[in-house]
Amino acid sequence: MDDRLKFIDEIYKTMYKEQIVLSYIGSVTPEIVNALLKSFKNDDFVLKDQVGLKKRVYKIIVECLENISRHSEITDENLPPSIFLLGKESSNFFIISGNFIYNTQVNDITNMIDKINGMDTDSIKDKYLEVLANGLISKKGGAGLGMYDIALKSGNKLEYNFRYANETTSLYILKVKVDL
Amino acid sequence: MNPFIIEQSEFSPSIIFDPSNSKFEITGESRPENAGKFYESVIKWLDQYYDDILSKKELSSTEKIYFDIKLEYFNSTSAKYILDLLKVLDNYYKNGHLAKINWHFDALDEDMKDSGEQFSKLVKVPFAFIQQ
């Protein structure tokens, strides 16, 4: 088998083993967001008979992808593209998004997620309402509600990591789980 | 006042405001690419309608808004604008007019009911929850 075929073979095995339902690597434009969402919505094999759970996963995918799309302001051509994965584990679905952010954003994101992870569901709901009632729409069109929404729909702690890329940017990886 | 109608697309809801038929309805998925632009015209029309009613001086009890929200999904940015829309109706209600929000939700989508309950905490206008 030539190297290229071997590579495809490995990808196939990995994706099959890890039960990857949907994957994407590239720029996350609004058109790509729409295409990925359509693909998930119209896929009859994924959560066909679990309407509530499918909607819940859908909502998290929307917020994750819109977050990447809205904040993909770093246009350094030398940086690798964003990544998005939807997969299944024994007791949950997982959504992983990875995109490059400025190193100056790392602290704010860390503080926000740690704060949310330290809250119970009722406190997150209260905070969501507070931001909804008092927050303003940002210049990028965000309402500042996305991460609270993700946490509420997930019902699990949010997992994240930053991989230092260079002196200005890092890869920000977010993993969100939804129980089956 | 002329009806205000926006047709539904895959990611943006249909809007039907038709006062002569007492129909005020928003249906579908709300994730427009530019939520600000989308909802600006919607809220502007409602504001205008409200001004119109006030200018009639004779405030008839038949001038009512029963507003049907039949959303399958809305993103977090839309949430902000949906609240703005509810505030217009809230203002109408607080000034003594008949107004009610009919919040429709799929029986299999408890999250959508929950979202309606969250919104209802931020306004005075009454909500009815209608399971479909």
Q: What is the pLDDT of residues A18-46, one digit of tens each?
A: 889 899 999 888 899 999 999 998 887 77
More confident residue, A49 or A130: A130
Task: Fill in the amino acid letter for B124.
Answer: K
B82 Cα to chain A: minimum distance (Å): 10
For residue A34, the chain B residues in CB contact (below 8 A) are 10-11
Total tally of structural domains belonging to chain B: 1
- In chain A, DSSP assigns E strands to 20-26, 82-88, 92-102, 159-164, 169-179
Report the complex ipTM.
0.87
For B110, nearest residue in chain A (alpha carbons): A52
Cβ distance of B106 and A51 shorter than 8 Å: yes
CATH number at residue B91: 3.30.750
Residue A75 pLDDT level (bands cut at 50, 70, 90):
low
- Whole-angstrom distance, CA of residue A122 vs CA of residue A28: 33
Cβ distance of A141 and B77 shorter than 8 Å: yes
For A122, nearest residue in chain B (alpha carbons): B118
**Residue B69's domain spans which residues?**
4-131
Whether the CB of B60 is below 8 Å from some CB of chain A: the reply is no
- Where along chain A do its domains lie? 3-103+158-179
CATH number, domain A3-103+158-179, options 2.40.128, 3.30.565, 3.30.2010, 3.40.50? 3.30.565
